[in-house]
């Protein structure tokens, strides 16, 4: 039981490049989330998926797209990366009414 896994762990992009952050969970959770955390700040919700086939915007969705590929996987895509998207990205999952479980994070730098 690996919990929530994220790939890659680290990534450096140039401005304008695109990439997809991958997240998978093996706990059969319905809900999945993407957060970003800037230095010295708390986590801010980007997008979430309450169930397979649905996605909703969080607090800071601009510049991102998501795909809930199946129940296990929830990906976050940056179509044209900007330096303001330099951050640590965390994926999380949960069952309804329960606590969230977080992945180890992806550290993204956009030059």
Partner 1 sequence: DAKTTQPPSMDCAEGRAANLPCNHSTISGNEYVYWYRQIHSQGPQYIIHGLKNNETNEMASLIITEDRKSSTLILPHATLRDTAVYYCIVRAFWGNQFYFGTGTSLTVIP
Tokens of 31: 């809900």
Closer by beta carbon to partner 1, 19 or else 88: 88
Give dist(CA 102, CA 57) in Å, integer. 19
Which of these segments, 10-18, 21-29, 71-79, 93-101, binds partner 1 (CB under 8 A)?
A: 93-101
Out of 43, 63, 67, 71, point to the residue binding partner 1 (CB under 8 A).
43
Does 95 engage in binding with partner 1 (CB under 8 A)?
no
Give dist(CA 72, CA 63) in Å, integer. 24
Q: Name the residue among 54, 55, 31, 58 with its Cα closest to residue 43.
A: 58
Shortest CB 108 distance to partner 1, Å: 13
Shortest CB 16 distance to partner 1, Å: 27
CA geometry: angle 33, 86, 48, nearest 5 deg: 10
Out of 23, 25, 31, 108, point to the residue binding partner 1 (CB under 8 A).
31
């Amino acid at each position: 039981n690996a919990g929530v896994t994220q790939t890659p762990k680290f990534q450096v992009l140039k401005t304008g490049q695109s990439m997809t952050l991958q997240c998978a969970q093996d706990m059969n959770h319905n809900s999945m989330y993407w957060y970003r955390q800037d230095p010295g700040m708390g986590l801010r919700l980007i997008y979430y998926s309450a169930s397979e086939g649905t996605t909703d915007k969080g607090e800071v969705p601009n510049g991102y797209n998501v795909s809930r590929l199946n129940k296990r996987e929830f990906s976050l895509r940056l179509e044209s990366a900007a330096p303001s998207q330099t951050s640590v990205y965390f994926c999380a999952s949960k069952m309804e009414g329960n606590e969230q479980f977080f992945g180890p994070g992806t550290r993204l730098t956009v030059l």
